[in-house]
């Protein structure tokens, strides 16, 4: 799950980034609203954590702009101004949930897990293509009924390919879904993950589209 974190307080952002990362989320962080609006289109996050008090534009404006682009993207707003009015305006503008600062990190993680569950029940909790079954709730992959052992990134990679079966995924788009910005990535990282995945999957399950990327044939 890729989280776009929009928060201008550097120490809070750093702390959240670490906690979310530990929980298995991929986090991209921005401290300003305008680039964040842009990033919603370019980075295709799965969910957004948005601070309402930003230095360049009001978080409510960011929220409205996000909603215009994507009506479904889960957004949790953070507000230091614990006034009822802010929360109500935020929810009216399409936020899915809110937390008033200060909050416990565990509370935020619990709220994001609710988003995650909603997304995965929504986006095929269990998918089967040929002999390969992927259960994103249980985080299990089976081939002909036998569970296979995958690393976190291998699992995410397979999930993206299966969810998009029939469509070619470019190396760049896979990289941006699997890694945070600025995270060090070997130039052949995706190839290496694919190589390991292939050893555990039926032959020809993941097809290479030369010079472009990878795809899986739909069921």
Q: Which of 31, 26, 71, 23 is nearest to 50 (CA)?
A: 31
Which range, of 49-57, 113-121, 127-135, 150-158, touches Ca ion by CB under 5 A?
A: 49-57
- Spatial contact of 16 and 4, defined as CB atoms under 8 Å apart: no
- Spatial contact of 216 and 159, defined as CB atoms under 8 Å apart: no
Which range, of 5-13, 93-101, 187-195, 199-207, touches Ca ion by CB under 5 A?
A: 5-13
Which range, of 6-14, 59-67, 87-95, 181-189, touches Ca ion by CB under 5 A?
A: 6-14
- Spatial contact of 47 and 75, defined as CB atoms under 8 Å apart: yes
The two beta strands, 126-129 and 75-79, are unpaired
Q: Could you say whether residue 94 binds Ca ion (CB under 5 A)?
A: no
Nearest distance from C-beta of residue 101 to Ca ion, angstroms: 8
Nearest distance from C-beta of residue 78 to Ca ion, angstroms: 8
Q: Residues binding Ca ion: what is the number (CB under 5 A)?
A: 3
Chain-centroid distance of CA 144 in Å reads 29
Nearest distance from C-beta of residue 59 to Ca ion, angstroms: 8
d(CA 98, CA 159): 29
- DSSP one-letter code for 105: H
Closer by beta carbon to Ca ion, 53 or else 94: 53
Nearest distance from C-beta of residue 58 to Ca ion, angstroms: 11
Which range, of 43-51, 96-104, 129-137, 165-173, touches Ca ion by CB under 5 A?
A: 43-51
Residue nearest to Ca ion (CB): 53
Q: Could you say whether residue 8 binds Ca ion (CB under 5 A)?
A: yes
H-state helical runs in the chain: 10-22, 33-42, 59-69, 84-92, 105-122, 152-163, 171-178, 189-200
Nearest distance from C-beta of residue 82 to Ca ion, angstroms: 13
Instruction: Name the 3-class secondary structure at 71.
Output: coil
Q: Could you say whether residue 86 binds Ca ion (CB under 5 A)?
A: no
Q: Could you say whether residue 53 binds Ca ion (CB under 5 A)?
A: yes
Laid out side by side, the sheet with 213-216 consists of 169-170, 213-216, 206-209
d(CA 188, CA 73): 31
Nearest distance from C-beta of residue 136 to Ca ion, angstroms: 33
List the one residue from 16, 20, 47, 51 that touches Ca ion (CB under 5 A). Answer: 51
Nearest distance from C-beta of residue 131 to Ca ion, angstroms: 50
Q: Which residues make up the interface to Ca ion (CB under 5 A)?
A: 8, 51, 53
């Amino acid at each position: 799950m890729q989280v776009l974190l929009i928060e201008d307080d550097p120490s809070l952002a750093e702390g959240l980034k670490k906690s979310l990362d530990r929980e298995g989320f991929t986090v991209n962080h921005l401290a300003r609203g305008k680039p964040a609006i842009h990033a919603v289109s370019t980075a295709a996050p799965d969910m957004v954590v948005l601070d309402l008090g930003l230095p360049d534009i009001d978080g409510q404006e960011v929220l409205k702009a996000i909603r215009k682009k994507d009506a479904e993207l889960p957004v949790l707003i953070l507000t230091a101004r614990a006034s009822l009015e802010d929360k109500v305006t935020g929810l009216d503008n399409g936020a899915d949930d809110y937390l008033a600062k200060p909050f416990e990190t565990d509370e935020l993680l619990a709220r994001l897990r609710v988003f995650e569950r909603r997304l995965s029940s929504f986006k095929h909790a269990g998918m089967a293509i040929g002999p390969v079954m992927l259960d994103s709730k249980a985080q299990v992959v089976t081939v002909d009924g036998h569970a296979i052992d995958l690393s976190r990134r291998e699992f995410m990679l397979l999930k993206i390919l299966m969810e998009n079966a029939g469509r070619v995924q470019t190396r760049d788009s896979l990289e941006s879904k699997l890694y945070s910005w600025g995270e060090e990535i070997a130039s052949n990282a995706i190839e290496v993950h694919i190589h390991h995945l292939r050893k555990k999957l039926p032959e020809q399950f993941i097809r290479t589209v030369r010079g472009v990327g990878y795809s899986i044939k739909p069921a």
